[in-house]
Amino acid sequence: MRHFSCLLLAIFVSAVALRGQAQSALSPIEQEVLKASQARLEAINRRDMETLARYIADDCILSSDDGTLMTKTQYMHIGKLPFAYDYVTNPREAVVHAYGDTAVVNFRITGHEQFGDADIVSEQRRTETWIKRKGSWVLIAFQWDNIPVNFRKSTHADPKTLQDYVGQYRSRPGDDIETVFVKDGRLWSRVGEDVAEYLPSGGDSFFLREGDLATFTFWRDAQGHVTGYIYHRIDGQQFLVKKIK
C-alpha cells in the first residue's frame, strides 16, 4: 500500500529499444542472457512453439500472476490462443545479474488480452532464472505479477466539497502523518516526499491511480464533519484512518 508500507511488431521494436538502453551496461554473459530472454518473448508473440520450447526447461518452475504454479506443458497452451488473446509489448527496465552459469533477469512489460472490443492491459514485473546447459541458456524458473495500475475513470467532484477533507491523518501511532490538501481544484495527499492525487469515484469515495488498487471513503460524524476515512483493501479487508487535525 502506498500510505502504509510506503501487436507483433511492437514487441520487436521494443526489444530493439531495450537492447540499446540496457546492453551497453551489461557484461557479455549478461547480454547473452538478455538476448535469450528477448528471443523467448518474440517466440511467444509469433506463436513459434518449437522455438519457445527450446528456451524452457522441462522442469521449469512457472508461477503466474495469481500465484498458480503450472507445468511447462500447461504454459505452452498459449500456442493454441489467437495472438490478440494474449501478447506482450514494450519490455523495458531490464536488470540482469549473472552468477557463472546461472543468471537472473528482471524486467517490466505490458500484457494485452482482447475480449470483444476491449483491450485488457496489465503492467507486469517479471523475474526469470536462467541456467546455461550445453552451451545454451535455458529458463528454469519464471514468476510474473501485475503492477497495480488503476484504469478506473474518475468522476467530477465539487471543489468546495473537497475542502471538507483537508487536514492531517494517521492510521496508527508512530506512522507517518498524511496531509490531505486541495490544489488546482483537485484533492491531493502527501506522506513524506510521496505526493499522489486522490481521484473521486462518487460521494465521499476516492481512489489512487497507482498503488494496491484500494478505495477509501471519508467518514463524517453526525454534524457532517469529516473525522477520518475507511481504507478498503481490494481483498475485502478495511481499516479506519483518523483525522488528527
What per-residue confidence (pLDDT) applies to 159? 85
**CATH 3.10.450.50 is the classification of domain 8-146:** yes
- pTM over 0.85? The answer is no
Query: Do residues 184 and 233 make contact, with C-beta atoms less than 8 angstroms apart?
Result: no
- pLDDT tens, residue by residue, 213-238: 789 999 999 999 999 999 998 888 99
Query: Do residues 111 and 127 make contact, with C-beta atoms less than 8 angstroms apart?
Result: no
- Sketch the domain layout of the chain as residue ranges: 8-146, 159-243
Report which of 148, 245, 165, 175 is spatially closest to residue 200, judged by C-alpha positions: 165
By three-state DSSP, how is residue 36 classified? Answer: helix
List of residues 6+ apart from 100 with CB closer than 8 A: none
Name the percent of the chain lying above pLDDT 70: 90
Give dist(CA 141, CA 162) in Å, integer.
48
What per-residue confidence (pLDDT) applies to 24? 58
What per-residue confidence (pLDDT) applies to 1? 45
What per-residue confidence (pLDDT) applies to 15? 43
What per-residue confidence (pLDDT) applies to 160? 87
Q: Spell out, as residue ranges, where the chain has pLDDT lower than 50.
A: 1-21
What per-residue confidence (pLDDT) applies to 108? 97
> In the structure grid, which three cell numbers stand for residue 12, read together?
520487436
159-243: CATH class: mainly beta
Give dist(CA 137, CA 76) in Å, integer.
18
